[in-house]
Amino acid sequence: MYSFLQKFHSGWAYLALLLLLIAVVNAIIGLTSKKDFTAKDRKIALFALIGTHTQLLIGLILYFVSPLGKAAFGQMSNAELRLTSLEHPLINLIAIALITIGWSKHKKLINSEAKFKTFAIYYGIGLLLILSRIPWNLWF
């Protein structure tokens, strides 16, 4: 089960990152071109939100069924263990919280420019945080 979850978490990450990147680019294009916020724009952001939340759930399950999870926690002198046991989960939780805040804030806004700006900022920061803590050596 652990091996399957690990591969699923890595595979789903590509989809979640792609959806998030598309949402950020769409928000920047919408903001710079001053277009109206449509149902298509909302769905793009929603799919990115769903993709990242699914990735979070898979990651949390993986973290707690991992044979290394509890054993590696607290080993701050080893950079690789610190990344996978503390930095990666913590920063990604913060990133997904920011993405969720961006989604919640957009619902209260009426102006299209404000909606695109909210998505560009919150989803963009979330994307940068996620990219900063991916264990790239395990991906390639």
Residue 112 — very low, low, confident or very high, per pLDDT cuts 50/70/90?
Answer: very high
- Report the pLDDT value the prediction gives residue 67, as an integer from 0 to 100: 74
Neighbours of 134 (CB within 10 A): 16
Q: pTM of the full predicted structure?
A: 0.90
| pLDDT surpassing 80 at residue 39 | yes
* 73 Cβ contact partners less than 8 Å away, ≥ 6 residues apart: 85, 86
Locate the domains of the chain by residue range: 1-69+80-138
